[in-house]
Chain A
């Protein structure tokens, strides 16, 4: 490609990107805008795009104990449960994923690469195919309707991919650095903690973000395993809410925005690491 055509090429690419982003984001944006509208405005014709009289009434109603929505769904409990499950399983996945990733990247054992590749096979199964066996398994272990059960389940599902991301990243870190640390007086564990892991931060953050987002927004397994209202997570709450408040679309919008908030926060702070972490191993540095 010659120099003169390059700007047009990038402009065309950018335009395509903007169109795709708009196509994907418009419904979400519409939902967020709806959360700031009144029920009357939403019901009126013609439809308005921007809120005519922006209000946070739909948000306050979610937590107003006297409101119907709050009486039917305890949002602080739902959020707290989701937070406990997502954070706990993220910690477990990153901790064990780091240990396993280190083993796959540094130790030599028969079938190492085959097993590492095999870890990804677990992601090829549709979740729906695993619903029934998982339910029976959790039931037999007496872990249904338990936050601990959900934490363990999400950790088990998340661990292979986290291990794969972390192992790919650790392979990029020269082993000479660890050898140097060992010559400098560090044990293997010290060289891993003091030298390797700080350099693998993007991969660890990526694995954590990936898992947190998945655990926070998981619906299918939570919906079949969690029965009591004390143990339900936000995604179950949101689904119930949509059924209960279809007419009051501003409240549905507010609830959906609220549920998406932690994910947006996670991506806001971790975005710069995310691409680097995912690309580890893909290109030579």
Chain B
């Protein structure tokens, strides 16, 4: 396994720069997830690491050795593609054995390694089948098997679950996580799904418009987002934002309602954007009053939208409340769960 270091990575297509100097360290055996909306540059960064894109500037190294000028095949990196990229004319065994064949490994060793990987991935009964005879999940496992047999320094995953249905996605998420724990591999994984990122990663890199917005452990990003973008992107359902200001040490909404004690670091009278996650808003006897406008029971929890000082605000609770449209209720924010962001720059204030 290997550690990866990216330094000031820049990538331009003509005059358009799409990666603006990315720095990232991936420790040996770490599971790092690059997450961000479409077009943020996460796949370009992954493909640059793989050698499938030529970077315009910067340095990429694995275990301290530069790989920038190496052909993809010489980087000792395996990649699982979004569409699996299984070779349609080869059966499962041949697909999985292809990298070893390219490395001129003996047939007996190929058979042995393929059998071992197939066992890990529960593919032993499928070895003679062709990709078109497999389900989406099985294809994904074959793609992973093809990466495993090589025992490379780094595994790259480019949105590997996006073509699977919801149930299978959850199952494969668990399998990939389990595989990482079993093999102790260094993984760089790209997704636009923040739940995948939260559930799988040791470290999340949130990207936007070719910049890194924040790097950190999943719960760090959830608890202390560096800016409004990260706060809105991480967490499901998304964080609510509303204009507020500090009055007498309290965060006060535009209609004068008190939301919660103002976070530390703010000054008296300072205007800011208050951020509160739906699951951190509680129905209480007192607090900011709000009118219910939408009720959405999901079974495990109840989600409802209220009009809070003119801002549609989502609340999520596990309590089985009997709400009707137009009901008025009072909301409080769980202690220490109010986030403050600069109204102009979006940077975290407290």
Residues of A at under 8 Å CB distance from B?
174, 176-177, 179-187, 190, 194-195, 198-199
Contact = CB atoms under 8 A, between A and B. Distances in A.
Contacts of A199: 88-89
A139 B98 CA distance: 51
Contacts of A180: 79, 81, 85, 87
Interface in B84-139: 85, 87-89, 98-99, 102-103
A186 B85 contact: no
A99 B313 CA distance: 60
B71 interface: yes
B87 A174 contact: no
B77 interface: yes
A179 to B, nearest CB: 5
B90 to A, nearest CB: 9
B89 A183 contact: no
22 contacts: A174-B85, A176-B81, A176-B85, A179-B52, A179-B72, A180-B79, A180-B85, A180-B87, A181-B87, A181-B98, A182-B52, A183-B50, A183-B52, A183-B73, A183-B79, A184-B73, A184-B98, A184-B102, A185-B103, A186-B73, A195-B87, A199-B88
A184 B52 contact: no
Contacts of A185: 73, 99, 102-103, 150
Contacts of A182: 52, 71-73
A187 B70 CA distance: 12
B81 A187 contact: no
B83 interface: yes
Nearest to B75: A183
B98 A176 contact: no
Given A184-B102, A185-B73, A179 B88 contact: no
A176 B89 CA distance: 15
Contacts of A195: 87
Contacts of A187: 71, 73
Given A183-B72, A183-B79, A177 B87 contact: yes
Nearest to A176: B85
Nearest to A185: B102
B78 interface: yes
Nearest to B79: A183
Interface string B51-62: 010000000000
Contacts of B146: 184
A199 B71 CA distance: 24
Given A182-B52, A183-B50, A177 B85 contact: yes
B138 to A, nearest CB: 17
A198 B89 contact: yes
Given A183-B73, A183-B79, A190 B88 contact: no
A187 B50 CA distance: 14
A183 B49 CA distance: 11
B77 A183 contact: yes
Contact of A176 (B73, B83, B99, B150): B83
Contacts of B50: 183
A179 B81 contact: yes
Given A190-B102, A199-B88, A183 B78 contact: yes
Interface centre among B52, B71, B78, B85 (most CB of A within 10 A): B85
Interface centre among A177, A198, A199 (most CB of B within 10 A): A177
Given A177-B87, A195-B87, A198-B89, A186 B102 contact: yes
B39 to A, nearest CB: 19
Nearest to B81: A176
A214 B63 CA distance: 59
Contacts of B83: 174, 176
Contacts of B82: 176
B75 to A, nearest CB: 8
A190 B102 CA distance: 9
A182 B70 CA distance: 12
A186 B103 CA distance: 9
A177 B89 CA distance: 11
Nearest to A188: B71
A194 B101 CA distance: 11
Q: Please list the 10 inter-chain residue pairs (A to B) with the smallest Cβ-Cβ separation, ordered nearest first.
A: A185-B102, A180-B85, A184-B99, A185-B73, A176-B85, A183-B79, A182-B72, A198-B89, A186-B102, A176-B81
Nearest to B99: A184
A179 B50 CA distance: 10
A177 B79 CA distance: 12
A179 B78 CA distance: 11
A174 B85 CA distance: 8
A198 B90 CA distance: 10
Given A177-B87, A199-B89, 20 more contacts: A174-B83, A179-B72, A179-B79, A179-B81, A179-B85, A180-B79, A180-B85, A181-B87, A181-B102, A182-B52, A182-B72, A183-B77, A184-B102, A184-B150, A185-B150, A186-B73, A186-B102, A195-B87, A198-B89, A199-B88
A198 B89 CA distance: 7
Nearest to B73: A185
B99 to A, nearest CB: 4
Contacts of A174: 83, 85
B212 to A, nearest CB: 25
Interface string B272-286: 000000000000000
